Amino acid sequence: MEEFITGYQWSSETKKYIGKYVFPNNRDKEEIHMPPFTTLIIPPICEKGYTSFWDGNKWNIDVDPNSVVDHPPIDDYELVMPDYIDYLKSNDLWTEDDENKRQEALDNIEKRKIEEEKRRVEEEKNIDYFAQLRVIRNNLLMETDWTQVLDVREKFTEDEKEKLVIYRQNLRDLPENVEDPKALVLDPLHPDWPINPLLIEN
């Protein structure tokens, strides 16, 4: 039975990975007669928008020029293929220059994380949660304004009237009696929110 070998081919013009190529194992002693533009080195799995390019010694990952995806900074790509880096190291294909570039990429990523966290904290400082709480409180009051119309009030029982008065007063007391307005703004089901008695089933 004839044996076959799987190779991985690249474009002669762009060096871009174009796919697998299965060819007969025409082994002559210890030498494999390889088809042109083919290697036995497996290309790495790339994220969407990236592809592999052959540099004559190993596969490198770069932005796919035919992709319409918006790409993150290219120095992120080393993190996509830690297993492939191990593979290159085990075959003495990972150079000191490669490692320096990867470390520089990691440093840049860490710097961006720190900058993004600083920006997030700064933006957080500028948010007026008390003002947002007042807006939400006012909207909730308006939702029950109709219950205060004289003709409508007469349709409620005395118990219902009392509960509506308490509910609306509790809303008016916001945000003066709230220590953490952010919690209420971000969570409409927060236990500190007064509950509309009309929404409570009897």
Q: Are residues 152 and 52 in the same domain?
A: no
> Which helix (H) or strand (E) is 53 found in, with range?
strand 50-54
Last residue of a domain, one of 121, 153, 178: 121
Report DSSP state, residue 148: G
Each residue's pLDDT, cut to its tens digit, for the chain (202 residues) gives 457 788 889 998 889 988 888 877 765 545 667 788 998 888 887 777 788 899 988 888 887 877 655 544 444 444 546 666 776 677 777 778 777 877 887 787 788 888 888 888 887 777 888 889 999 999 999 999 999 888 888 888 899 999 999 999 999 998 888 888 889 998 988 999 999 998 875 5
pLDDT reported for residue 29: 47
Torsion of CA 176, 178, 182, 183, to 10 degrees: -150
**Would you state the structure tokens that stand for residue 136, as one six-digit string?**
């939400």
- Residue positions counted in the chain: 202
Pairwise CA distance, residues 142 & 155, whole Å? 19
Instruction: Supply the range of the domain harboring residue 79.
Output: 4-121
Do 137 and 115 fall within a single domain? no
Compute φ and ψ for 33, nearest 5 degrees: -85, 100
Q: Which residue has the tokens 């918006």?
A: 70
Residue 16 shares a structural domain with residue 99: yes
Residues 6+ apart with CB under 8 A from 184: 133, 136, 174, 175, 178, 190, 192, 193
Return the pLDDT at 71: 45
Q: Which one, of 60, 187, 199, 59, lies nearest residue 132 by Cα?
A: 187
| 96 shares its domain with 178 | no
Q: In what order do the strands lie in the sheet with 38-39?
A: 17-24, 4-10, 38-39
Domain termination residue (choose one: 77, 101, 121) = 121
| pLDDT, tens digit (0-9, with 9 covering 90-100), for 35-69 | 889 988 888 877 777 888 999 888 888 878 776 55
What pLDDT was estimated at residue 140? 92
- Residues 79 and 163 reside in one and the same domain: no
Per the structure, the count of domains in the chain is 2
Same domain membership, residue 117 and residue 134:
no
Let me know if 92 is exposed, middle or buried by CB neighbors in 10 A (0-12, 13-18, 19+).
exposed
- Whole-model pTM: value is 0.42
